[in-house]
Structure 1
Amino acid sequence: MKRELGIARCGLACCLCHENITCNGCNSDECKDKEWCENRKCSIEKEISNCFLCENDCRKGLLSKMKPYGFTVFAKRYGLEALLDCLERNEKNGVIYHREGLIGDYDNFDDLEKLIEFIKSGV
C-alpha cells in the first residue's frame, strides 16, 4: 500500500491502486483525468481536498459508484486515518482492491452498510 497517495477526491483508494504505477493521484497536476473529473472540479471549486469533507451527500461523478461512495461515507463517519488503517489491514489480510482490471473485493456490494461493514472487518 502506498499510504502517502491516500484517497482520491472522489473516494477511490489511490493508495491501493495498481492501475497506473506512475500516477501520483488526482491531487497532482499530472492527473490524466483532471479535465473531465466532475468530483475533482467540484471539490476544487469548494476549496476542499476530498468529497468526504463536503457537507452534501452527493452521488455525482464517480460517487455514483458504490465503492468510491462507500469509502467517502466511511471517511465522513470515521475519519480518513481510520479508512486508511482498515484498507491497509484488509490488504495485508488478502482483500484485493483490483483483480484483473478494475474489479476487486470492494466492488461486490450494492448495499452501503454492507460495504462499510466489509471495510471495517475485511470479511
Structure 2
Amino acid sequence: MTSPKTSQTMKPATAAKKLGVYLEATPAEFQEGLITRDELHALQTDPPQWLQDLRNNGPHPRPVVAARLAVSISGLARAGYTEPLTTAEIEDLRAENPEWLQREREIQADVQAEAERVKEAKAAKAKARH
C-alpha cells in the first residue's frame, strides 16, 4: 500500500513572492504557516480582500515597484529606494519624474532593446542552420 500523496508546501516568503506582495504587509496567519500549492492557487484565482488591497495599494515589494516604474531593481537601489513603496508613492514618483527615473528608464529600455536584438540574432542563426 502506498501512503496518500501529501501536498507540497512553501514558506510564506515564497508564496508572497509568487503573489507579488510584500510579506510583512500580509496578515499574521499568512506569515506564520506553510502554504500549500492548492492554497496558493486558491489565493491566485479568488484573492481575498486583504490580497486585493495589497495588490492595489501596497506596500509593494521592489520587483513590483521596479516594474511599475519601468526600471530595474538595481536602478531603484542606485536611486536609494530599497524599501517597499505604496501605489500612491509610485504615482507621485511618476508624476514628479525626477532625473534619476528618466535616466534609469533609458537604461532599462536600452537593456531590453539589446536583449531583443540578441534574441533575434539567435533566432536568425538557428534558422540559417536548418
By the TM > 0.5 criterion, same fold? Answer: no
Q: 1 or 2 for the larger relative contact order (CA 8 Å, sep ≥6)?
A: 1
Which is greater in Rg? 2
- Tell me the TM-score normalized by structure 2: 0.28
> Which one has the bigger helix percentage?
2
